Structure 1
Amino acid sequence: MKKKLPKYYPSCEEIMKANERLKNVINETPLQKNLLLSDKYKANVFLKREDLQIIRSYKIRGAYNKIKSVCYQTILKKGVVCASAGNHAQGVAYSCKKLKIPGRIYMPSTTPQQKIERVKMFGKDFVEIILIGDTFDSVNVEALDFCKKNKKIFIHPFDDVKIIEGQATVGLEILQQYPFHIDYIFIPVGGGGLISGVGSYFHQYSPHTKIIGVEPEGAPSMSISLKHGKVVELENIDRFIDGASVKKVGKLNFKICHKILYDMKTVPEGKVCTTILELYNLEAIVAEPAGALSISALDFYSKEIEGKTIVCILSGGNSDITRTEEIRERSLLYEEKKHYFIVQFPQRSGALKEFVNNVLSKKDDITYFEYSKKNSKEKGPAIIGIELSDKNEFTSLLKRMKKNKVHFQYINKNPDLFRILI
């Protein structure tokens, strides 16, 4: 069944054209039934594996479709420009090399070297990387200013109809690979390019499928915009889930999402970290934080999706190994298995030994300890991080601390102080 949409929505005909442009350029990524998730949620859960895409992300679809849709002679003469610290930059770089056109890619000076090297690898001599500014927002301003002054072609990461049509080919593939009824599709949301593309296609060809957008709790740009009925720019966001953390969603993306969404869900960053670790440990799947967003939302719909057919788009697998410790830390905090305290220790020998013997159980582990002895005082503060094997043991830990008259301050919920620790 095909539904008619307003003119500013990507048409199925244009999405088909995008699919043709992308043939022999991208991988048709698999749609895999995940047995562990299906068993956990008593549903048929399928993962669309865009982490197996040629640049390990769906972003190549929109970038290549946009660039290829412009007159070749024009784009060869002018060149293209983009601003990105991640997957969009890689998609543009790959497209430039493939089409043999010049590209200029602006990235924050804080971008990890691993990401810079991947952009260089995909773009080779066809791209120039400009490192400037500390945030994506400042870099984006520089890129747009350069485009305006030099009459270059800007490749927006999401707020462009050709970008949206390219991302929509993910939805086209899903319905070709599973031509049966799909009850729910969970799609990660950053600027809104993927969900407005895939959602538009599903809205027309699978109108009974409930489309659920999932974004980080620390960057709820689409959720807040939908609540206010207009695009809202956030002042501050948590950039941990960097592939889906934007201050402002696209205007076109917002219009489409306002029409097609069944629900929007924000997911805590710690929950996403738990999902990343579970995917790796149980499935040997390497997912980046934004890539794990859609799967992370399933817990919040567990009753609703029971017995249903579900598709989650695993949107990317460009994970930086240097972030592993932070991912584990955030996961433990979310799961309530890691707890930090400022403990006032008597400044005498044996005080720490008494704490370990009388307060900690055999399964508790001290994973962080910072103490500096001050000879002029009776007590000295120590910051202690304790990892529990079971979150339900936390109450018992507090009881033992109080029983042994330990003077402490619990600091997990103090973000300003705690941020120093991680």
Structure 2
Amino acid sequence: MSLLQKDIYRPDLKDVKKAAERISKVVVNTPLADSFTYSAKYDARILFKREDLQQVRSYKIRGAYNKISSLPQEQLKKGVICASAGNHAQGVAFACNKLKTKGVIYMPITTPRQKVEQTNMFGGEWVEVVLKGDTFDDSYKNAIKHGEKFGQVFIHPFDDEKVIEGQATIGMEILEQADGPIDYVFAPFGGGGLLAGLSSVFKQLSPNTKIIGVEPEGAPSMLSSMKAGKVIELKTIERFVDGAAVQKVGSRNFEICKENLDAMITVPEGKICQTILDLYNKDAIVVEPAGAMAISALDSYAEDLKGKTAVCIVSGSNNDITRTAEIKERALLYAGIKHYFIISFPQRAGALREFVDKVLGPNDDITHFEYSKKHHRENGPAVVGIELNDPADFEPLVARMKKKNFFGEYLNDKPNLFQFLV
């Protein structure tokens, strides 16, 4: 490591090269592939770094294996411990199995079942999974206590020098694979290990490349910290993008990224969901929410990208198919296609038919209807979900509801009520 300022860590290229040698037997040199769909869309050359094709289906194996394999034998005999929302857990599990060392892995209770099952599969008899807490930060605190009690080294998912150097090998691979200059790199930001490592390599070997960090709108831990000028912990976060939903970024990563990143942006969860669906439908690529974040950010740079070359890090593909309905729902809501209302129905025969015939547009579709007559008032409320053919149909729909005295409340912008529907 090199110290450009006292006590500030920055990964050195020689340490990244050592990491690349250390992990070479277990890490796939993933493709840097042209995306014809997105290149055409943005009139640019868009390349995908396909880390979703790693053995554990994410880049996390790089940092996890580099860290664990660098530990002395006496420590490996005691075992290791980690906390993770999923992908780091699988990387640690894989490394423990390969290196024949015991690992205890704390995961949030909210972790998708698919990721828990994959972690157990990769770790086999060498790993114990403990589900504890609602967020990564809850699991982290419990894992730290466990490690201190049993003398096990904590394998941090992002705020660790060896982990950062392992993730930095992605940057070296990209530059080796590229057949020309790279103008932009878009990469997802959770705790910051990937961007801290990758940006350090680019700033030393390709300083003209602009590095853009991307966070979910509901968990802007790095953007908030950059605005505050120091690492801060968010009190609440949206946990949908489980691979990037952290309340507090790594201190090492913050120091590196605030110097190296050209921009830090957020993308709405609904937009991420639409990207997931587009990648599957158009390119047969399966990604998890965090894996779609970098690609989701391209719209924000559409004008700047024309005629340029940009790389998007497709960070992982550990997506649980049982989440598909929620992903589709969030995408429709973001696009302004899906809307929920409390409709006030007159308590008389024919009211529903009047609503369908006189209020709904010819291309509108009722996708949710919840009504129960429990009283003798003039009007009875119903929760109604309506899918439009075009977002422009929304205002005319509301106008017809009000004209015919059906309108009660619009629920999409009332999060305390709306969360029960989505």
> Higher mean Cα deviation, 123-132 or 265-274?
123-132
Following superposition, the deviation at residue 374 of structure 1 comes to 2.9
> What's 2:68 paired with?
67
Supply the AA of the counterpart residue of 2:145: D
Q: CA deviation at 1:396?
A: 2.1
1:94 partnered with 2:94: yes
The answer to whether the 8 A contact 2:185-2:212 is kept is yes
Partner of 2:43: 42
Partner of residue 410, structure 2 = 410
Kept in 2, the 8 Å contact 1:75–1:101? The answer is no
Matched to 1:170, the amino acid is I
Give the Cα–Cα distance (whole angstroms) in 2 for the partners of residues 225 and 117 of structure 1. 34
Instruction: Tell me whether 1:235 sits opposite 2:235 in the alignment.
Output: yes
Q: Is the contact between residue 45 and residue 310 of structure 2 (CA under 8 Å) also seen in structure 1?
A: yes
SS at match of 1:191: coil
Q: Provide the rounded CA distance (Å) in 1 between the counterparts of 2:270 and 2:374.
A: 36
What is the identity, as a one-letter code, of the residue corresponding to 1:15? Answer: V
Whichever residue aligns with residue 42 of structure 1, its letter is: D
Deviation for aligned residue 1:4: 9.9
**Alignment partners' CA distance in 1, 2:258 and 2:139:** 28
Equivalent residue letter for 1:337: I
Q: How does 1:322-333 map to 2 (within 5 A)?
A: 322-333=322-333
Q: CA RMSD in A?
A: 1.4
The change in CA–CA distance for 1:306 and 1:386 in structure 2 (over 3 A counts) is: same
**How far does the alpha carbon of each residue in 1:357-398 deviate from its partner, in whole angstroms, 9 at most, with x for none?**
111122110001111113411110011110011111112212
Deviation at 1:5, TM superposition (A): 5.7
Residue in 1 aligned with 2:277? Answer: 277
Contact 2:114 2:318 in 1 (8 A): no
Q: Does 1:21 find its partner at 2:22?
A: yes
Q: Is the 8 A contact 2:346 2:379 kept in 1?
A: yes
Residue 111 of structure 1 is matched in structure 2 by 111
- Give the whole-Å Cα distance in 2 for the aligned partners of 1:34 and 1:136: 33
Shift of residue 408 of structure 1? 2.6
Q: Aligned pair 1:133/2:133, yes or no?
A: yes
Letter aligned with residue 370 of structure 2: E
Secondary structure of 1:137 counterpart: helix
Q: In the aligned structure 2, how far is the partner of 1:111 from the partner of 1:307?
A: 40
Q: Which amino acid aligns with 2:283?
A: E
Tell me which residue corresponds to 1:192: 192
For structure 1, which runs of at least 5 residues remain unmatched after alignment? none
Which TM-score applies when normalising by structure 1? 0.97
Task: Answer whether contact 2:340 2:385 (CA < 8 A) is retained.
Answer: yes
Shift of 1:404: 2.6
Give the equivalent residue in structure 2 for 1:214: 214
Counterpart-to-counterpart distance in 1, 2:309 and 2:112: 38
Extract unaligned runs of 5+ from structure 2.
Answer: none
- Secondary structure of the residue aligned to 2:224 is helix
2:247 matched residue in structure 1: 247
Residues 33 and 47 of structure 2 are in contact (CA less than 8 Å); yes or no, is this contact kept in structure 1?
yes
Separation in structure 2 between the aligned mates of residue 88 and residue 175 of structure 1, nearest angstrom: 24
Distance 1:270 1:135 in 2: 20
C-alpha distance in structure 1 between counterparts of 2:380 and 2:74, whole Å: 70
Task: Specify the alignment match of 2:257 in structure 1.
Answer: 257
Distance in 2 between residues matched to 1:314 and 1:361, nearest whole Å = 40
The 5 Å alignment of 1:133-172 reads 133-172=133-172
8 Å contact kept, 2:114–2:319: no
* Superimposed CA distance per residue, residues 100-123 of structure 1 (whole angstroms, 9 cap, x where no aligned partner): 111111123343332221111100
Change (3 A) 1:303 1:341: same
Give SS of 1:302's match. Answer: helix
Q: Given that residues 82 and 105 in structure 1 are in contact (C-alpha distance below 8 angstroms), is that contact kept between their aligned partners in structure 2?
A: yes
Instruction: Please say if residues 398 and 407 of structure 2, whose CA atoms lie closer than 8 Å, have aligned partners that are also in contact.
Output: no
- Alignment partners' CA distance in 1, 2:75 and 2:101: 7
1:12 matched to which residue of 2? 13
Aligned mates of 2:375, 2:413 — CA distance in 1 = 30
* Residue 124 of structure 1: how far off its partner (Å): 0.6
Q: Which residue of 2 aligns with 1:30?
A: 31
Contact 2:135 2:239 (8 Å CA) reproduced: no
SS of residue in 2 equivalent to 1:376: coil
Contact 1:4-1:204 within 8 A present in 2 as well:
no
